[in-house]
Structure 1
Amino acid sequence: MIQEKYRECIQACLACMNACNYCYVSSLKEYDLAMLRECIRLDRECAEICSFVAEALSRSTPFAKELCELCAKACDACAEECGKHEHHHCKQCEQSCRRCAEICRGMITAA
């Protein structure tokens, strides 16, 4: 039953993880890798954090508030970096990160 209150956040984290992983792989195929270096790095960090937070929330972690705060920060950083690029995969990742950060912030106040 506890997982039910985390459902939206878990789904947002998993969607963000997928968007970050897709952006990461797609960025590696782009011609100018140097320009995307920070984007690639933050995609990987954000994907890993989102994955961990989704898993932890599914176990009803007692650290939900702290983990959601970290996730929101990672998503903000990734969204900011992806927003600097015009690639379609970066724009999709930016949107997913912003949504996840917003939902995680809602969890911080609710937890």
Structure 2
Amino acid sequence: MSHTYGTTPHLHSQVPYEHLLKTVQHCEATCEHMISMLVNHEDAFMRRQQIQLLRDCADICTLMSKYLARGTQLSKSLAQYCSYVCELCGSTCAQFPDPHSQNCAQTCLHCAQECKAFAL
């Protein structure tokens, strides 16, 4: 067995579905940021449903990221559910006129579309 010292085998670090992975990670980070902003907001009590959906969306996006990074065969099934949660979260955020909620709505709805396309 020959071994050349000083060389390292090159492993392909390209993650399958890297574009979707970045979209899902961005959605998760956006939702987490919104949660941080809203929990101390003056009308946090009135936004309980939004905060809960933001938590659910961030959690499902975290799991979706892991599945995509692993390349598991269950990714497409989870993407269907992730699309549903992101769409629900995005629709809820869209009901609030503040710029942060509107930005979050766009991010979640975009993620929902990407996950739905991947699931097909």
Instruction: Please say whether Structure 1 and Structure 2 have the same fold, judged by a TM-score greater than 0.5.
Output: yes
CA contact (8 A) 2:16 2:69 kept: no
Where relative contact order (Cα < 8 A, 6+ residues apart) is larger, the structure is 1
Match of 1:82 in 2: 93
| Structure possessing the higher radius of gyration over alpha carbons | 2
Match of 2:80 in 1: 69
- Alignment of 1:16 onto 2:27: yes
Supply the RMSD in Å over aligned alpha carbons: 1.3
CA contact (8 A) 2:16 2:68 kept: no
Where in structure 2 are there 5+ consecutive unaligned residues? 1-11
Match of 1:94 in 2: 105
Tell me the TM-score normalized by structure 2: 0.84
CA contact (8 A) 1:8 1:103 kept: no
Number of residue pairs aligned between Structure 1 and Structure 2? 108
Tell me the TM-score normalized by structure 1: 0.91
Deviating runs (4+, > 3 A) in structure 1? none
Sequence identity of aligned pairs in percent?
Answer: 28
